[in-house]
Structure 1
């Protein structure tokens, strides 16, 4: 469990730091140079991510602590929430869609939706640490990002329906592929029977 916690602290902490201390990023980039700063940030992020993946895998295989037994219907709600998550996670990359226009930071909302889905459908301590950590990060990040946007007077995005439709279709296809093949392969949990 220690690796999971260390990975969460490193990965989520790094991604919160620029929002909590915006001057720190600028001063570090000025001191190190933009390229080396981005490289160090990426490397530390990968280390944190690797630790949380390995730590979560070890926690699932070790002595597990059940905190609550989710009812079966929460799995079905989790399917819907993860579909929404995939759509929102792709929204920053598919043009001027309605999700970007409305939310400003749809990827953070996608991470929150993914985390909430998994919290509803899983009741072990390691699940609470991983998905609860990402949900807390997402809530705080979204608040800070929206506050920053208002302070900077960011102009709203003018959406179009073509980009929105592409976002929904791409998110749906990615969700299906992940749920059908990658989730069972990587996580060891089949989403669709058979």
Structure 2
């Protein structure tokens, strides 16, 4: 549990540092130049490694029993989450629909996983990421209340996004299966 919590804390620190201490972050960039991005990327990579190691190495402590129908909703929400993650870099029309598509993708990912995982480690991991995504959205909106809505691109960009998302979704399902987590119920 300690590794998981340490990973979550590093994730929060790495992402929120520039928002809660912009002067310190600017000072780091002034001293280190572009190398400061590498420091934060390293912190976030370490955070992910710690979260995965902590989650995989933990005992199963049930808190609630997910409903059987939640698996199907989870799978739909996971596809939506993958699309939202990709939407931030899309060239299609849909990119102008949401201000924070990647953070909404993280929120959707976390909710989907909480629907099908009722153990303590899942609640800590996915609940922690859900709280982080909401906090990050709130901080961005407070610091930058005006949003420059991107110009919608061509509809073919949305088709491309859906096709790429379907492939990524299949890869994610394959990785889950390989790790021993059959994502489709039954």
Give 2:48's aligned residue.
Answer: 49
| 3-state SS of 2:97 partner | helix
Does the 8 A contact of 1:104 with 1:146 survive in 2? no
Deviation of 1:145 (Å): 2.0
The answer for unaligned runs of 5 or more in structure 2 is none
Deviation of 1:14 (Å): 1.1
| 3-state SS of 1:173 partner | helix
Does the 8 A contact of 1:88 with 1:171 survive in 2? no
**CA-to-partner distance for each residue in 1:106-126, whole Å, 9 max, x for gaps?**
111111101110001100000
Aligned length: 185
Give 2:162's aligned residue.
Answer: 168
Moved segments of 4+, more than 6 Å: none
Deviation of 1:154 (Å): 4.0
What is the TM-score with the length of structure 2 in the denominator? Answer: 0.91
Does the 8 A contact of 1:11 with 1:44 survive in 2? yes
- Give the Cα separation in 2 of the matches to 1:144 and 1:130: 21
- Give the Cα separation in 2 of the matches to 1:80 and 1:109: 15
What is the TM-score with the length of structure 1 in the denominator? Answer: 0.88
- Give the Cα separation in 1 of the matches to 2:159 and 2:5: 38
| 3-state SS of 1:103 partner | coil
Give 2:26's aligned residue.
Answer: 26
Deviation of 1:96 (Å): 4.3
The answer for unaligned runs of 5 or more in structure 1 is none
